[in-house]
Structure 1
Amino acid sequence: MSRGQNSGGLMSSAGLVRYFDSEDRNAPQIDPRTVVAFGVLFGLLVMVLNVV
């Protein structure tokens, strides 16, 4: 690889890091346990509906 070429690895992800690093104060905050519980309940619902 020549010296003048930039692979763009870190520079191309800099915008994403800046985007995900900033948190909106007005955004709804959801507890991770709530998300897991919802996923488990949804999975159980699907299993029950498969049986019926």
Structure 2
Amino acid sequence: MTKKKSSGSGLMSSAGLMRYYEADKRAIHINPKTVVATGVVIGLAILILDASFGIWPLP
């Protein structure tokens, strides 16, 4: 049995992916924990406002 030689190196095959991450350096980065915490705070604020206006809990 003969071994097949690979036609390209690992670096050449991932060149498109590397260019994507280089372009991503200029983007705004937000920590996922910050997004989840913001969603929880907004959700709690909505529940508190609903309760204070007598809308929640529904009868």
TM band (smaller chain): 0.5 to 0.7
Alpha-carbon distance, 1:26 to partner: 1.0
Partner of 1:44: 44
Paired amino acid for 1:33: K
Partner of 1:15: none
Large movers: runs of 4+ above 6 Å:
none
Q: Number of aligned pairs?
A: 32
Q: Which has the higher contact order (CA 8 A, sep 6+)?
A: 2
Which runs of no fewer than 5 residues in structure 2 stay unpaired? 1-15, 53-59
- The percentage of aligned residue pairs carrying the same residue is 41
Question: Structure 1, residues 5-37: CA drift from partner, whole Å, max 9, x if none?
Answer: xxxxxxxxxxxxx8xxx3421111000000000
TM-score (norm. length: structure 2):
0.48
TM-score (norm. length: structure 1):
0.54
Alpha-carbon distance, 1:50 to partner: 0.2
Which structure shows the bigger proportion of residues in helix conformation?
Answer: 1
